[in-house]
Amino acid sequence: MSAIQNLVSHFDRYLSLDDVESKALTSRLTERKIKRKQYILQEADICKYFTYVVEGCFKMYGVDKSGTEHNLLFAAEDDWISDLDSLHKERPSKLFIEAIEPSTILQISKGDLWYLYTNHPKFNRIFRVITEDKYIELQNRLLQTYSTAASERYESFLEQYPNLANRLPNTQIASYLGITPEFLSKIRNERSGK
Amino acid sequence: MSAIQNLVSHFDRYLSLDDVESKALTSRLTERKIKRKQYILQEADICKYFTYVVEGCFKMYGVDKSGTEHNLLFAAEDDWISDLDSLHKERPSKLFIEAIEPSTILQISKGDLWYLYTNHPKFNRIFRVITEDKYIELQNRLLQTYSTAASERYESFLEQYPNLANRLPNTQIASYLGITPEFLSKIRNERSGK
DNA sequence: TCTACATTAAGACTATTTCTTAAACCATCT
DNA sequence: AGATGGTTTAAGAAATAGTCTTAATGTAGA
């Protein structure tokens, strides 16, 4: 299956696209290969694209004043990633988006996305649902962050992203959980002891 | 201005509604008066409505296993509030939504909202943008939570919600920041010392 | 006006997590 | 295939941000 067919069938899961819509979409997508450790967004840049991950894996993170990275989220195959704040408000991003694995992506520019929204209303519905789902993810993550200890958040992470848990280095998971890799190792140790 | 006119002009800020759309919307809204400390959603219930706050103020929070409340967000005049997770996935909510002040709200049920999405596509676009804005808020909150200390998060809260800061009791702000009211008092004390 | 709750204060406390060092391990790049 | 650089585990010492407790005072709602 080609990268673009991949995305069209992704959309079909929400609402099926007719030929006109499908063509309007695919003609506006750019396919890119991204190397490991390559950025598709850097702090202070303005985010220009909404990115669909065909293959590989990305992390989006911020860096605090002491230089520590904090992973906000990961995106692997069949997922979307973008700094919506920077993309929509056209302000400099506070975040980095970096490939953790060699990856293939499809990107649509802000202008092209706006074109779709205006001329093919169905995309509003599809992206409304996508954004709602992302919102729900963040809300649950925030609730967890405030109401449970690191060890429990690790358990939830394992349940929610069993495939990512295998693929990601523990340093990255620790950054996502808001702890040091050493402490994650301690948690894993206690956990396996049980 | 009536409560409903209020909401129609809220929508007009995104995309103006024609008469048909405006009527389709208003005929599906229910106006309610809510007393202080009254719930519009309780844990374990399934969230049935998307709620627009005409007047007053609400908090949405979860309760951890030790019984402590954690405020996820507030919604005052001209804002939306709902547990999207429970509303969309039709699963029992983990959250409470409670009035902090006597309030007036407009509610639309899930079924009616779906009717609008299907029959009046413009609402998809409006709610897509509303959801995106909410997503951006959460993303920034999450980044702050992981990358800054409580005192800095308090400063940001004051900047971002200057009107809420005056209206809300500090206990509620402390719960939002993830600290005890005593510690917030300490932060305020040090802050005013400067 | 009364009552319950909110705020401030201040000191003792501590749980969670970091820091440090080190050794072993593993993966990927040339 | 070997070298190199990052990853994982370990374990004890150390730090500190935030809690707990008590108490006195202030404030807003009924």
What pLDDT does residue A1 have? 64
Q: Which residue has the tokens 């990633």?
A: A81
A186 part of a folded domain: no
User: Distance in angstroms, CA of A179 to C1' of D9?
Assistant: 16
In a domain, residue A193? The reply is no
- Kindly report the CATH number assigned to the domain that includes residue A102: 2.60.120.10
Nearest to A138 among B122, B128, B135 (CB): B135
How many domains in chain B?
1
Note the CA–C1' distance, A110 to C15, in angstroms.
47
- A79 forms beta bridges with A53
Residue with tokens 């959801």: B131
Q: DSSP per residue over A33-47, as a string?
A: EE-TT-EEE-TTSPP
The nucleotide lying nearest A36 (C-alpha to C1') is: C28
* Predicted confidence pLDDT, tens digits, chain A (194 residues): 688 888 888 888 888 899 999 999 999 999 999 999 999 999 999 999 999 999 999 999 999 988 999 999 999 999 999 999 999 999 999 999 999 999 999 999 999 999 999 999 999 999 999 999 999 999 999 999 999 999 999 999 999 999 899 899 999 999 999 999 999 999 999 887 64
Q: How far is CA A193 from the centre of its chain?
A: 33
Strand partners, B49: B109
Query: How do the pLDDT tens digits run along chain B, 194 residues long?
Result: 688 888 888 888 888 899 999 999 999 999 999 999 999 999 999 999 999 999 999 999 999 989 999 999 999 999 999 999 999 999 999 999 999 999 999 999 999 999 999 999 999 999 999 999 999 999 999 999 999 999 999 999 999 999 999 899 999 999 999 999 999 999 999 987 65
Count of Cβ atoms closer than 10 Å to residue A144 Cβ: 20
Query: For residues B61 and B72, what is the distance between their CA atoms, to the nearest angstrom?
Result: 5
- Residue A98: inside a domain: yes
With contact defined as beta carbons under 8 Å apart, do A130 and A15 qualify? no
- Is the torsion defined by CA of B15, B161, A90, A85 positive or negative? negative
B157 found inside a domain: no
Euclidean distance between CA atoms B58 and B76, whole angstroms:
6
C-alpha distances in angstroms, A57 versus A35, A76, A104, B155?
10, 4, 9, 35
Is any atom of nucleic acid chain D found less than 7 Å from the CB of residue A188? yes
Instruction: Let me know if residue A145 belongs to a domain.
Output: no
Sheet holding A57-63, edge to edge: A39-41, A96-99, A57-63, A69-76
Note whether residue B12 is domain-resident: yes
| Contact residues, chain A, for B148 at CB < 8 Å | 64
Task: For chain B, give percent helix, strand, coil, nearest 5.
Answer: 50, 25, 25
Tokens coding B62: 């979860």
For residue B84, which of B134, B144, B11 has the smallest C-alpha distance?
Answer: B134
Q: Cβ contacts (< 8 Å) between A132 and chain B: which residues?
A: 84, 88, 131
With 0-12 / 13-18 / 19 or more C-beta atoms within 10 angstroms meaning exposed / middle / buried, residue B93 is buried
Q: Specify if B152 maps to a domain.
A: no
Q: How far is A185 from A12, CA to CA, in rounded Å?
A: 41
Order across the sheet with B39-41: list the strands. B39-41, B96-99, B57-63, B69-76
Query: According to the model, what pLDDT value does residue B24 have?
Result: 95
Q: Is A68 helix (H, G, I), strand (E, B) or coil?
A: coil
Parent domain of B56 = 3-120
Structure tokens that stand for B16 in this block: 């103006």
Amino acid B188: pLDDT? 94
Any domain includes A194: no
Distance A191 CA to D19 C1' (A): 27
Tokens of B24: 């389709």
- Cβ of residue B180 near strand D, that is under 7 Å? yes
Res B123: pLDDT: 96
Q: What is each CA distance from B117 to A101, B6, B76, in whole angstroms?
A: 38, 21, 25
